[in-house]
Amino acid sequence: MRIDLRCNDTESLRNYHYIMQQMSAAMARFREHVRCARIKVASAAGANGDGGQSKRCVVQLRLHNLPDVMFTITRLDVRAAVDEAAERTARMLAQRLRREADIAHPDVALPRQTWYSLQSEVCTSP
């Protein structure tokens, strides 16, 4: 998995290693499913409504055999935007891969010959 990180301002550049660490940790357990990740952190002038400088974190994930994932997080602070983007990345990857596994293998969780017995509260086979 390759991570392409672009920072368009000095505050983001100062946090380069932090951003890489957070995003790498968020995708660590999904490493074999992610082809590449593109992350762009930049200023979003006036995005918070009061004319101040917000930070925008744009994440694009290219996955193997699944549609791309792309989203944007805007917060007042670089680290807040990156933290939320990392959490959302891990959550979205887990959902996407769980959904794909359910579609590909719907009977894996409980075979047809097995049922749950309320009397014994154990899983039994006929």
Please list, residue by residue across 47-81, b when 16 or more beta carbons sit within 10 angstroms of its beta carbon and e when fewer do. beeeeeebbbbbbebbbeebeebeeebebeebeeb
**Structural domain count of the chain:** 1
CATH number at residue 66: 3.30.160.100
- From first to last of its 126 residues, the chain has per-residue pLDDT tens of 889 999 988 888 899 999 999 999 999 999 999 999 999 999 886 544 555 589 999 999 999 888 899 999 999 999 999 999 999 999 999 998 887 766 655 554 544 444 443 444 444 434
Supply the pLDDT for residue 100. Answer: 73
Which structural domain range is residue 85 located in? Answer: 2-124
pLDDT at 105: 53
Cα gap 93→123, rounded to integer Å:
31
Residue 14, CA distances (Å) to 17, 47, 54, 95 in order: 8, 22, 16, 32
